[in-house]
């Protein structure tokens, strides 16, 4: 009964947004009204939608699908925010994040060819964003674009969009969808490594960290855990993973040459609910003893508990806290030679201690 009440409470807190990503009549604006234009490459385990305005829906696909979506960021954008059009509002790129174009690819070879050209033009670097629970395709695309824009990431952006149900009551469906996506994320990472990428950074959030860790574990079992030396930063933000499961994953992966960055927050209300659903088992993303118990596995633990979040659940601080997302971007831009983790750790801790 308690779980049902919590679900109903969370469902009441969500907004009733359309999952359309392509508007029917975009308002024409001048170049000066646009703050940025970003190409987001998509590898997805979602089915293609019968509604072309949605591109992909929330159902699982039996195969990996590929696309590219161009997203514009409005001039009045504020760092850490995703300005979304509400139902009934005009498709105005001067006010809202808007998808200006979507291109589908029939298969991996065509997707790889398009990727290779973009990778070569952007310094041979790729960032893969793996979204979390309760994320529709449109929300994942806009979050990826916001992270790229606000962080100033210079490389190619790839969204791995697994088949989340996009609702607060689809937790079990999402968990199973995440598990089903492990092999496809592995295929995606290998494809990126073969498409000319010199370095592949991974930023995963919430339940997306489960998909990521399972995939890295699989790579370790094949004897190629770092993609031939191309794996760069691995950022695990608010991991929705049982602590004991995470320890097991890290033991199988082995201590990484470069520590994974683990961003957690003890006031993460979304993970508190997840822990209740898991039988009061602690999640990595809000684990009080993380530094004492997890750093020996090869992770750098950064506590964001004192940092401000933009949502009431404190679950997306890595992206919606302006100082955090900019600092993450600075690290990704500067850390081209696998620089010391002390730099990023010290800078982030200065931000959190200031309560920003």
Query: Which pLDDT does position 174 carry in this prediction?
Result: 96
Q: Helix %, strand %, coil % for the chain, to 5?
A: 40, 25, 35
Cα 242 from chain centroid? 19
Q: Cα(197)–Cα(175) distance, rounded to whole angstroms?
A: 30
Tell me which residue of 6, 102, 107 sits closest to 52, measured CA to CA. Answer: 102
pLDDT tens digits for range 243-291: 999 999 999 999 999 999 999 999 999 999 888 877 768 899 999 999 9
- Say if residues 304 and 324 touch (Cβ distance below 8 Å): yes
Query: Which pLDDT does position 11 carry in this prediction?
Result: 43
pLDDT < 70: residue spans in the chain: 1-18, 24-25, 88, 280, 335-356
pLDDT tens digits for range 96-131: 999 988 999 999 999 999 999 999 999 999 999 999
β-bridge mates for residue 120, sequence order: none
Burial class (CB in 10 A: 0-12, 13-18, 19+), 279: exposed
pLDDT tens digits for range 292-301: 999 999 999 9
Query: Which pLDDT does position 148 carry in this prediction?
Result: 97
- Say if residues 329 and 149 touch (Cβ distance below 8 Å): no
Q: What is the DSSP string of 234-289?
A: EEEES--SBHHHHHHHHHHH---SSPEEEEE-TT-HHHHHHHHHTTSPPBGGG-TT
- The model carries a pTM of 0.91
- Say if residues 177 and 160 touch (Cβ distance below 8 Å): no
């Amino acid at each position: 009964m308690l779980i049902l009440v919590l679900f109903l409470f969370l469902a009441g807190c969500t907004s009733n947004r359309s999952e359309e990503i392509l508007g029917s009549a975009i308002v024409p604006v001048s170049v000066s009204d646009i703050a940025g234009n970003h190409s987001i490459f998509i590898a997805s385990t979602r089915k293609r939608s019968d509604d072309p305005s949605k591109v992909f829906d929330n159902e699982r696909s039996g195969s990996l699908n590929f696309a590219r979506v161009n997203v514009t960021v409005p001039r009045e954008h504020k760092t850490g925010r995703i300005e979304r059009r509400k139902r009934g509002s005009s498709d105005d790129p001067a006010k809202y994040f808007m998808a200006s174009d979507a291109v589908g690819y029939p298969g991996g070879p065509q997707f790889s060819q398009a990727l290779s050209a973009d990778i070569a033009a952007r310094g041979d670097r790729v960032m893969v964003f793996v979204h979390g629970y309760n994320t529709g395709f449109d929300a994942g695309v806009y979050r990826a674009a916001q992270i790229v824009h606000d962080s100033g990431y210079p490389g190619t952006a790839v969204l791995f969009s697994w088949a989340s149900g996009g609702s607060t009551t689809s937790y079990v469906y999402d968990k199973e969808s995440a598990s089903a996506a492990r092999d496809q994320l592995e295929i995606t990472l290998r494809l990126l490594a073969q498409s000319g990428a010199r370095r592949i950074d991974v930023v995963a959030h919430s339940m997306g960290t489960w998909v990521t860790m399972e995939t890295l574990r699989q790579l370790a079992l094949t004897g190629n855990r770092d993609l031939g030396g191309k794996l760069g930063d691995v950022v695990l933000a608010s991991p929705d993973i049982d602590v004991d499961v995470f320890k097991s994953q890290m033991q199988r992966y082995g201590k990484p040459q470069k520590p994974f960055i683990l961003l957690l927050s003890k006031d993460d209300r979304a993970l508190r609910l997840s822990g209740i659903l898991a039988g009061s088992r602690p999640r990595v993303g809000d684990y009080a003893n993380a530094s004492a118990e997890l750093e020996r596995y090869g992770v750098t633990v950064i506590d964001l508990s004192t940092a401000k979040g933009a949502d009431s659940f404190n679950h997306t601080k890595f992206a919606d806290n302006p100082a955090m997302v900019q600092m993450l971007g600075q690290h990704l831009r500067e850390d081209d030679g696998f620089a010391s983790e002390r730099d990023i750790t010290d800078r982030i801790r200065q931000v959190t201690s200031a309560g920003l």
